[in-house]
Amino acid sequence: QRAVRLGDGFFGAGSATTAQFAEHVRIVRKALADQQRDPATFPIAKRIYIAVDDDATRAHDRIAASLDDLYGYFGLSGLAPVAVAGTPDDCVRGVREVIDAGAELVLFSPMSGEAEQMERLAAEVIPQLG
């Protein structure tokens, strides 16, 4: 509601699950309607922590360790469920779920091997998203 009241868009946190993001989008859309604001002029985005690997288990392990390192400073752990990780096909499905939840723009945040991850996203994930 605050984003709608004070801002020009909403950017969902990487630390939110897709289900949480979907609920945030529902709240944002209701607030837009309540304040008679045009949703077409209010972009909705989401940061996605992502790990693409031919070995899905390795992708999940890497992203879990990276998120624990990042958020451990704040006393948070076990945040792997907020990420999209796995094979390229797994990642396509996960990103589609975020888009289906309301994201018009996504910011990919690989947590390790950034250059390789960006190459893989560009070659193996993004083209499948249409």
**Are the beta carbons of 46 and 82 closer than 8 angstroms?**
no
How far, in Å, are 15, 25, 63, 83, 87 from residue 104 at the CA level? 18, 11, 24, 18, 23
If residue 12 lies in a helix (H) or strand (E), which one and from where to where?
strand 10-12
The 10s digit of each residue's pLDDT in 61-89 is: 999 999 998 888 787 778 888 999 999 99
Kindly tell me if the per-residue pLDDT of 130 is higher than 90: no
Residues 6+ apart with CB under 8 A from 28: 1, 3, 4, 10, 42, 44, 102
pLDDT of residue 79: 83
pLDDT of residue 78: 80
The 10s digit of each residue's pLDDT in 6-54 is: 999 999 999 999 999 999 999 999 999 999 999 999 999 999 999 999 9
What total number of domains does the chain contain? 1
pLDDT of residue 32: 97
For 36, the domain range is 2-129
pLDDT of residue 1: 83
Q: Which residues of 11-42 are buried (b: 16+ CB within 10 A; e: fewer)?
A: ebebbbebeebbebbeebbebbeeeeeeeeeb
Query: Which DSSP symbol is given to 76?
Result: -
Kindly tell me if the per-residue pLDDT of 106 is higher than 80: yes
**Are the beta carbons of 67 and 49 closer than 8 angstroms?**
yes
Q: Which CATH number fits the domain that encloses residue 33?
A: 3.20.20.30
What token pair was written down for 85? 């990780």
